[in-house]
Amino acid sequence: MNRSKHVCVLMGGWSGAREASLRSGRACGEALQQQGFRVTRIDVGRDIANVLQTLKPDAVLNLVHGRPGDDGTLQGLLELIGIPYSHSGVLASALAARTFNAHKVLQASGVPVGEKPGAAPAGRHLSCAVMGERALDVAEIAHEMPTDEQSDANRPRVPAPLLPNVYQHVRRLALAAHCALGCRGVSRTDFRWDGRLEEGTGGLICLAVNTQPGMTETSLVPEIAAHAGVSFGELVRWMVEDASLGR
């Protein structure tokens, strides 16, 4: 995509993740403008279809966390009005947003799954980002569950201090989960590992696949991507250039 193209950055919305989404939108919009894209930031309301049909952008960068941005609703609307968009499509978004259904699909595909994240027993929490068809690196989260925003006092460890066989197994499972749900663009898969070594990678389970991860420069996915040699600007540009319909 030519960098002079018009990109609408969708952010905000009305879910509990609104503030995180606004931060992602502001950061990504600035990164795109610095690279020469024409950017319109939109705080998504219930009139979003009319707004987009008026603006007629070349592509949409969907950064709305929570419903309606990550459950297939916004994706379906973009398909209907024919505007290419980033991240996963209707089915993958709807599946990933419903943990029970996602786990059924993942289990059938050979990805070990566990309890809902909030109910998971203690263990080491790991997170792996996938970019297109490439699993990036693995982070370890110091607190109970992975979150998008990390404080200076509680930074993730990238790369996660794991034995090579465990590290690579997390990457393989993250890519397998991404593909099993039919995800596109960027996703983040969270795992719990109980540290068992006698079975090699035993005790490693997938907790959730996040199809709309946080996207500020201090969010988990950009930090993981940076360690893999992909700068924040490169990551955001790639998401825009990867935008399409029929995802």
Would you call the peptide bond into 121 cis, given omega within 30 degrees of 0 as the criterion? no
Q: Are residues 191 and 141 in the same domain?
A: yes
- Residue 246 included in any domain: no
Which residues are CB-neighbours of 100 under 8 A, at least 6 positions away?
none
Q: Are residues 127 and 181 in the same domain?
A: yes
Q: Per the structure, how many domains does the chain have?
A: 2
For the residues of the chain, what is the DSSP string, one character each? --TTSEEEEEE--SSTTHHHHHHHHHHHHHHHHHTT-EEEEEE--TTHHHHHHHH--SEEEE---STTTSSSHHHHHHHHHT--BSS--HHHHHHHTSHHHHHHHHHHTT--B-S-GGGPPS-EEEEEEEETTEEEEEEEESSSS--SB--GGGPPBSS----HHHHHHHHHHHHHHHHHTT--SEEEEEEEE----TTSSTTEEEEEEESS---STTBHHHHHHHHTT--HHHHHHHHHHT-BS--
- The CATH number of whichever domain residue 169 belongs to comes to 3.30.470.20
Q: Are residues 77 and 105 in the same domain?
A: no
The pLDDT of residue 3 is above 70:
no
Q: pLDDT of 169-225, one tens digit each?
A: 999 999 999 999 999 999 999 999 887 655 556 788 999 999 999 999 889 999 999
* Confidence at residue 94, expressed as pLDDT on a 0 to 100 scale: 97
Q: What Å distances lie between residue 193 and 46, 113, 138, 180, 200, CA to CA?
A: 41, 11, 13, 21, 11
Q: Are residues 101 and 193 in the same domain?
A: yes
Average pLDDT over residues 31-48: 96
- Residue 1 included in any domain: no
- Residue 116 included in any domain: yes
Phi-psi region of 158 (alpha: psi -120 to 50; beta: other; left: phi over 0): beta
Task: Count other Cβ atoms within 10 Å, centred on residue 238.
Answer: 16
Q: What Å distances lie between residue 53 and 50, 62, 81, 201, 231, CA to CA?
A: 5, 16, 7, 50, 32
- Residue 115 included in any domain: yes
Q: Are residues 118 and 171 in the same domain?
A: yes
- Residue 19 included in any domain: yes
114 near 100, Cβ under 8 Å? no
The pLDDT of residue 26 is above 80:
yes
* Confidence at residue 142, expressed as pLDDT on a 0 to 100 scale: 76
Q: Are residues 117 and 63 in the same domain?
A: no
Q: Are residues 73 and 115 in the same domain?
A: no
**pLDDT, mean over the chain:** 90
- The CATH number of whichever domain residue 237 belongs to comes to 3.40.50.20
pTM: 0.90
* Confidence at residue 148, expressed as pLDDT on a 0 to 100 scale: 53
Tell me what percent of the residues of the chain surpass a pLDDT of 90: 79
* Confidence at residue 200, expressed as pLDDT on a 0 to 100 scale: 58
Banded model confidence at residue 117, pLDDT cuts 50, 70, 90? very low
Phi-psi region of 223 (alpha: psi -120 to 50; beta: other; left: phi over 0): alpha
Q: Are residues 80 and 115 in the same domain?
A: no
Q: Are residues 15 and 52 in the same domain?
A: yes
- Beta bridge pairs of residue 157: 140
Residue 196's domain comprises: 94-227
Q: Are residues 104 and 30 in the same domain?
A: no
